[in-house]
Amino acid sequence: MQTNQKIFLPKMGCGTWAWGNRLLWGYDESMDEELQAAFNLCVSSGVTLFDTGDSYGTGKLNGRSEQLLGQFSQQYQ
């Protein structure tokens, strides 16, 4: 059965590959406050799509982008 449902995606999203990736992006935990500010700006500007993955991060930081996204969402003001 086919329906006429439409899917609406936001015009812009935010990629989080660098959140936790030391190897390619030079991530360091001291950046988290700045990343929170970037997240806040995105959300306050209407961004609702955040591209993340459990492999975003390097070594023991695998999944860091997802952890930060959850933390930033909870702390969003």
Q: Looking at the annotation, which residues are catalytic?
A: 56
Beta-strand ranges (E) seen in the chain are 13-15, 49-51
Residue pair 27/63 in contact (Cβ under 8 Å)? The answer is no
* CA pair distance 66, 7, nearest whole angstrom: 24
